[in-house]
Every structure is written in structure tokens, then in C-alpha cells.
Amino acid sequence: MKLFIKKPIKQLMAASAETEKSLKRTLGVGSLIALGIGAIIGAGIFVRTAAAAGEHAGPAVTISFLIAAAGCALAGLCYAEFASMIPIAGSAYTYSYATMGEFIAWIIGWDLVLEYALGAATVSIGWAQYFNEFLETFFHFHIPFQWCHSPFETSITTGGMYADQVGVHGIVNLPAIFIILLLTLLLIKGTAESAVVNNIIVIVKVAIVLMIITLGWHFINPANHTPYLIPADKGSVVTSTGTINYGDTFNHGWLGVLRGASVVFFAFIGFDAVSTAAQEAKNPQKDMPKGILISLVFCTILYVLFSHVLTGLAPYTDFLIKGKEASVTYAIKTFMPGYGWLASLVTVAILAGFSSVILVMLMGQTRVFYTMSTDGLIPSIFSKLHPKFRTPYKSQWLFFVFVSIFAGFIPDRIVGDMVSIGTLFAFVLVCLGIMILRNTDPNIERPFKTPMYMIVCPLGAAICLCMIASEGWENWARLIVWLLIGFVIYFGYSVKRSHVRKGVIDIPKDPINPKYVE
């Protein structure tokens, strides 16, 4: 059946040429770096830091970030080589197609959809929580619990805005669906316009993060950092989504730190999202490596400093009950007297910051499906472009529905964990892909080369596999079910329509024309 048939590099490069029928090249190196920072700085700092600290790592979540960053840095070097060599939309999917064959490419492409879609859903849930904080702070009004939480959540708060709603069950998270709708409309309008909005947001939220680190450092309570690792006899904590038992294997000690690394890992997919925009970069061979690596290094430094301050301000158990998704504003209001204004400012900045993350995730997933569609592996509707804006608008609408289902009806802890395992899986394949291509096609032009690839590639894959091993069986089960659905589609549809199998050299002639034939 030729499961591992490969897409020729020359064919990929031919498809990257800009025409009136292709994605428009509008992004410079500054926009690519901002795109990466926009995706990385957001949920990782403002939501997943608190979740990882509260559930698994405690104050040692700083080490969790370093472990995750190590895996990301090694995988990032591999991404940089691929992105400079194959500047095509599609990220790891495209790279896998050229190195490991169509079947592996399908698996990774299908996995990336899960990664980006649920990444957007996770952050939109956090956005909804901070939107409620914004309404309460500035207008003394908040959305009822049932209309901003999933059906799997029950209010257990004994104080704050939901003091009168203890025991209320969630119905649907309407604010999360609302922000996804707004950003979907923006993306349909165009990538350049979206990039301008993202650049402004990035400047604002980085400034706020630096303020929190600088001002919050003076309020750190050393007692909150002792012990640095969660002890096995810590006991348990009851939350709105269930009970966290610190005696469990991956909820304390060094294994808890490793589990915490896999929890925060999904926030590092920002540089992955940069690679999906390769076909919209003005000078991808030079600018893509810079966009990937600079954004990764910059954000890692901020992550470690911020998580150190946050866990120093408040006990990590507070993040599970009192702070939840809005733990940052909770910590500032409660443990930084006189800085209530900063908490208000943070709420506004976080709303903007989360918006930029969702925007990048929504763009990334449609660009992966755009490329898979031009390869004939999925229906042509996913590669049809808007006649005016030249964006995959139909695909954007379909994903709006898909992401909204998860954002509106599933808790962020479950959705976020699904993203992490999908991201790690993608990184493993990218690391292996570089090793394979160095041997199968050593003479291809490489504007950027992964240094010491015989060490970097296997080490990057190994670190990511270790974090995958720390994921709970529930996440493995969800990933397997998702992949099984993908296999049904691949063997039932894709193998019969693959352009590579048919010997089709070029991408579809006119993706704007409704009579376009796949």
C-alpha cells in the first residue's frame, strides 16, 4: 500500500513559490518572533504554572519549566533546520512527509490538529475566568457560575464572587466560545492584520510580566518555597473537578516535577506555531530559525523567573481552590498589599495575552489542515481560500465549531493535559526526522544546521519521551482514541486520494475557484 511513500523535497519547494492562488507572504522576522512570544507567553505563565505547581510540582515548578525548556530547545533546533530547509505551511506534518513517509505524516498532522485545537480551547477557558475577574473588578458584575464553566465542574467556593452559588453545576462556558468567535473572524480577515494585533498585545503582556517579576520579588515568602518538592505525606486537596492526592506517584517529589514539566509543556508550542507560518514568511530560510529560537529562549527566562515569584507569593495549594485559572490576580490581591492596581492591570493584560495565544493556535491548526488538503489527504474544503483575503476561511469556521465544543463543555485541566501529550509526540517525530534526513538526503541545502545533531536529536527525543511516560493513563487513552479515529479517515479516504500516490506534482491549481477539483 506504500504507507511510507515520501513527498519529494523538490516538490515541497516548488509548492512554496508565492502565486495569486497561494498563502500571502507578509511576515518578517520581527513578526515571527512576536508570533512565537505571543503563543508561548500566556497560558503557561498565567494558568498552567499554577496548575502544575498546585497538582504536581509545588515550588519546584521552576525546575519543571527548565526540563520542558530543555526538551523544547533541542526540538527547537531541529524545527529550525526543517523550517529553513522546507519553508512550507504545515510544520511537523510537512517535515514528516519528506522524511518518514505519508503514514507517519498523517499521524503527526492529525496529532497537530489535536494539539492546536485543544491548545486554543485550554487558553480560552483561562480567558473566560479572567474575563469574569475583569467584569467584577471594573463593573462589579460577574457571569453566573453555570454560564462560564463546563458541566463537569461544581462550585465549591466559600468566598469571592461565587459565595452565593456553592454547589452549582456548570452548563456551558459562554465567554470561552465568544473569544474564539471574535478571533476566528479576525483570522478570516487576514494574517497580516492578525500579526499587527498580535505584535501590540505581545508588547503589553511582556511589560506586565516584567512588572510582576520586579515588584512581586519583594513580597516572596521563603516559607512558601520550603520544602521545595512536594512531600509524599502532604495529604490531599478537594477541588471543583475532583480530589488531588499528593501521595500518588506523579503528584510529589521528582516524579511530580517531571509530571509538572509535561503539564506546562504545551505552552512552549509557540515556536511550533511559528513553523506553521513558514509559507507566509517573507524570507523563511533566514527568518524562521531566528523566530523559533529567539522566542523560545526569551520566554523560557521569563517563565522561570515568573514561576519563582508566583510560588513565593502564595502557598501552592491555594492555586487549586482559591485562585484556580485566575491564580495570578489572586496572589497579587492577597499577598501584595498596596498593589491592587497591578492586579487590575494584570487582568486586562492577561485578557489581551490570552487572546494572542488563541489567535496563534487557531491559525496554526488551519495551516496544517490547509497543507494536508493540498496533498489530497483530506477534503478540498480545508484548502479553499477566501476570494478577497486569501485565507482558509471555510476551514476556520469548521475549527471554530470544533474548538468551541471543547472550550464550552470540558474543564481546562483535561483539555490542557491532552494538548501536552500531543505536543510531546510531535516533537519526538521532528527530532527523529532530522536524523533520518541527514542520512537519506545529506546534500540538500540547509541554511541552518542543527549543531551536533547526533547528540541533540536523540537527546531531544529522549527528554520528550520521558515526559510522555509521566502522563496519566487517561491521557494515553484519549490520544489512542483520537489516533484510531484518524486511522479510519486515512485508510477510508486519504490513501485513495493522495496526490503523491497519484503522481500529482503541483498543488491544486485554483483553491479559490469553487469548481476546484481535488
CA 262, CA 330: separation in Å to the nearest integer? 25
Identify the bridge partners of residue 243 per DSSP, sorted by sequence position: 238
- Which residue is associated with the grid cell 503523491? 500
Give, to the nearest 10 degrees, the angle between helix 253-264 and helix 453-469. Answer: 110
**Euclidean distance between CA atoms 326 and 350, whole angstroms:** 10
Give the bridge partners for 27, in sequence order.
281
pLDDT of res. 58: 92
Would you state the cell numbers that stand for residue 390, as one nine-digit string? 486569501
Express each pLDDT in 411-420 by its tens digit. Answer: 876 776 677 7
Q: What is the pLDDT of residues 34-48, one digit of tens each?
A: 777 776 776 567 778
279: nearest Cα among 518, 78, 13 = 13
Q: Encode pLDDT of 43-79 as tens digits.
A: 567 778 888 898 999 999 999 999 988 888 888 888 8
Q: Verify cis geometry, omega within 30 degrees of 0, for the bond prior to 227.
A: yes
Judged against a pLDDT cut of 90, whether residue 214 lies above it is answered with: yes
Average pLDDT of the residues of the chain: 81
Question: Of the given ranges (59-68, 136-145, 280-289, 489-498), which has the lowest mean pLDDT?
Answer: 280-289
pLDDT at site 12: 67
* pLDDT digit string, tens, across residues 216-251: 999 999 999 999 999 998 888 877 667 888 988 888
What's residue 223's pLDDT?
A: 95
Q: What is the pLDDT of residue 253?
A: 92
Q: Is the pLDDT of residue 432 over 70?
A: yes
**Comparison of pLDDT for 193 and 121, the residue scoring more:** 121
Cell numbers representing residue 393 in the block: 476561511
Say which range, 193-197, 323-327, 490-494, has the weakest mean pLDDT: 193-197
> pLDDT-based confidence at 280, cuts 50/70/90?
low
pLDDT at 510: 41
pLDDT bracket for residue 508 (50, 70, 90): very low
- Grid cell locating 282: 517573507
Q: First and final CA of the chain: distance in angstroms? A: 21
Decide if pLDDT at 365 tops 70: yes
3-state SS assignment for residue 19: coil
With a cut of 70, say whether residue 14 has pLDDT above it.
no
- Mean pLDDT score, 347-359: 80
Of 511 and 319, the structure prediction assigns the larger pLDDT to 319
Average pLDDT estimate for 110-134: 84
Architecture of the domain spanning 27-144+175-502: Up-down Bundle (1.20)
**44 vs 184, higher pLDDT:** 184
Between the alpha carbon of residue 116 and those of residues 125, 139, 311, 366, 482, the distances in Å are 14, 33, 28, 9, 14
- Residue-wise pLDDT for 130-181, tens only, equals 898 888 888 888 888 889 888 888 877 545 566 566 778 889 999 999 999 9
For residues 86-103, average pLDDT = 75
pTM of this structure: 0.73
Q: For position 91, what pLDDT does the model report? A: 65
Rounded (to 5) percent helix, strand, coil in the chain: 70, 5, 25
Percentage of the chain modeled with pLDDT above 70 = 84
Range of 125-129, 210-214, 284-288, 321-325 with top mean pLDDT: 210-214
CA distance 281 to 289: 12
Long-range CB contacts (< 8 A, 24+ apart) of 493-499?
493/377, 493/378, 493/379, 494/106, 494/376, 494/377, 494/378, 495/1, 497/376, 497/377, 498/5, 498/102, 498/375, 498/376, 498/377, 499/374, 499/375, 499/376
- Is residue 436 within 8 A of residue 414, CB to CB? The reply is no
Tell me: pLDDT of 102 over 70.
yes
Take residue 176 and report the three cell numbers written for it.
470561552
**Residue 509: what pLDDT?**
43
Q: What is the DSSP letter of 242?
A: E
Give the pLDDT confidence of 22-38 residue by residue, as tens digits.
Answer: 556 667 788 778 777 77
Highest mean pLDDT among 95-99, 153-157, 166-170, 255-259: 255-259
Q: Is the dihedral of CA 506, 378, 360, 108 positive or negative?
A: negative
The larger pLDDT score, comparing residue 9 to residue 372, is at 372
Number of continuous H segments (helices) and E segments (strands) in the chain:
21, 2
Dist. CA 251–CA 10, nearest whole Å: 48
Do 35 and 195 contact (CB within 8 A), yes or no? yes
